[in-house]
């Protein structure tokens, strides 16, 4: 559980507002070219060249079961370290970096089947609604980049 203040990068996928620990974020990128790869794991849009590193792009719309918006002007890639190396997470927008206090969070037990909700750290209460505090290690499936990375 959260015991000290921390900074979160707040982002949006569909109508859901989420936050990642700033320490988990390597870089935030505008949308760049993604090369589709036949037979890629579910949720993987393809590969992107990020500063001479080939990384898989994982679509959080697929993970959260929401459709992608037609207007992608605010679409961003959040580069994080996955279990098998760097991964770019596709999101609708990155909104802000916010410093939060321990009392701002509430631990929740999600309803229904929890196997797919291992990414959920808690809920942040804000005046304008709730923010889902996520753990990037739970968002990104294991072996995501196996066979997709350049040698």
The answer to whether the beta carbons of residues 57 and 34 sit under 8 Å apart is: yes
Q: What's the confidence (pLDDT) of residue 148?
A: 52
CA distances from 1 to 92, 122, 132 (A): 28, 9, 14
Domain spanning 6-139: CATH 2.40.50.180: yes
Full 3-state SS string of 87-136: EEEEECEEEEEEEECHHHEECCCCCCCCHHHCCEEEEEEECCEEEEEECH
The answer to whether the beta carbons of residues 105 and 133 sit under 8 Å apart is: yes
Tens of each residue's pLDDT in the chain, 151 residues? 557 888 999 999 999 999 999 999 999 999 999 999 988 888 999 999 998 999 999 999 998 899 998 888 899 999 998 878 899 999 999 999 999 887 888 777 666 555 566 687 888 888 778 899 888 888 887 766 554 544 4
Q: What's the confidence (pLDDT) of residue 54?
A: 93
């Amino acid at each position: 559980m959260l015991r000290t203040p921390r900074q979160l990068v707040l982002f949006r996928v569909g109508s859901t507002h989420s936050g990642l620990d700033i320490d988990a974020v390597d870089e935030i990128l505008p949308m760049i070219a993604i090369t589709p790869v036949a037979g890629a794991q579910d949720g993987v849009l393809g590969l992107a060249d990020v500063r001479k590193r080939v990384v898989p792009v994982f679509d959080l719309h697929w993970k959260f079961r929401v459709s992608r918006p037609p207007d992608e002007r605010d679409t961003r890639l959040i580069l994080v370290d996955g279990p098998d190396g760097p991964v770019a997470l596709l999101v609708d927008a990155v909104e802000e970096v916010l410093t939060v206090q321990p009392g701002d969070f509430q631990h929740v037990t999600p309803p229904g089947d929890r196997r797919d909700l291992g990414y959920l750290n808690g809920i942040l209460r804000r005046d304008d609604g709730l923010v889902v505090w996520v753990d990037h290690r739970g968002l990104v499936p294991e072996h995501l980049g196996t066979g997709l990375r350049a040698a």
